[in-house]
Amino acid sequence: MKRKDYLRLSGWVLQFMRGLCVIALAFMLYDGIRHSIDPEYYFVRWEWYGLSGDMDFVEEGEYPPQTAASYYFNWIQISIQLVLMFLVWTQLIKVLNSVVSFETFISDNPIRFRKIGSLILGIFFMDLFHFFDGMASADTEIQVGANFSILFFALGAYVLAIVFEEGKRLAEEQKLIV
């Protein structure tokens, strides 16, 4: 495989990931509308019919019905994370396009990597707090915990921003050498 093929393949992977975000967001929108119209939908679906649609009782701990507050909290949290992920993929696609067009150190890649770092930091903060309030009082769960693997990605993006900034500076200096 040549360099161009690798870049093209990476481009497809990034587009695919961004597409998945769009599909997930569309599903979230559908789910939110469905829930706002019929809040009992989950109760019926999960409690009595199960995932397969057969007459079945859902097992303990598996998608128990939750209160409206819990549902909307999780809905907003996941939606914001998906939007942030969509923006991360968009920025990565722009970076890849600049590499394809041999403008790696000419374009605004340092700014893009800084944006990616901030977006990932946003995902990290959105992931700090988990709240689930089930219909049964025993189901209520509040968790606070940091997922440091996300933080490392943000750190990586910031380091890349500095590397690309240095590259851009060197490229600009190179332009002034006759």
Partner 1 sequence: MIRVELDVMLARRKMKLKDLAAEVGISVTNLSLLKTGKAKGVRFETLAAICASLDCQPGDLLIFEKEED
Rounded to a whole number of angstroms, the minimum distance from the CB of residue 130 to partner 1 is: 54
CA-to-CA distance for 92 and 35, rounded, in angstroms? 34
The set of residues, in sequence order, having a beta carbon less than 8 Å from that of 31 and lying 6+ positions away, is 75
Rounded to a whole number of angstroms, the minimum distance from the CB of residue 175 to partner 1 is: 9
Helix (H/G/I), strand (E/B), else coil: 134: strand
* Closer residue to partner 1 in complex, CB, 37/178: 178
Q: Are 94 and 111 in contact (CB under 8 A)?
A: no
* Closer residue to partner 1 in complex, CB, 62/173: 173
Interface pick for partner 1 out of 55, 142, 144, 176 (rule CB under 8 A): 176
CA-to-CA distance for 1 and 134, rounded, in angstroms? 52
Q: Does 170 bind partner 1 (CB under 8 A)?
A: no
Rounded to a whole number of angstroms, the minimum distance from the CB of residue 177 to partner 1 is: 4
CA-to-CA distance for 157 and 149, rounded, in angstroms? 13
* Closer residue to partner 1 in complex, CB, 54/173: 173
CB atoms within 10 A of CB 160: 18
Q: Does 5 bind partner 1 (CB under 8 A)?
A: no
Q: Does 178 bind partner 1 (CB under 8 A)?
A: yes
Rounded to a whole number of angstroms, the minimum distance from the CB of residue 172 to partner 1 is: 9
Contact characters 115-154, partner 1, x per CB under 8 A: ----------------------------------------
Report in angstroms the alpha-carbon separations of 15 from 21, 101, 103, 128: 10, 17, 20, 28
Interface pick for partner 1 out of 5, 59, 62, 173 (rule CB under 8 A): 173
Residue 74 CA from chain centroid, whole number = 14
CA-nearest of 67, 76, 68 to 140 is 67
Largest CA distance in the chain: 79
Only one of the segments 57-65, 69-77, 112-120, 169-177 lies at the binding site for partner 1 (rule: CB under 8 A); that segment is 169-177
Interface pick for partner 1 out of 1, 37, 144, 177 (rule CB under 8 A): 177
Chain residues in the site for partner 1 (CB under 8 A): 173, 176-178
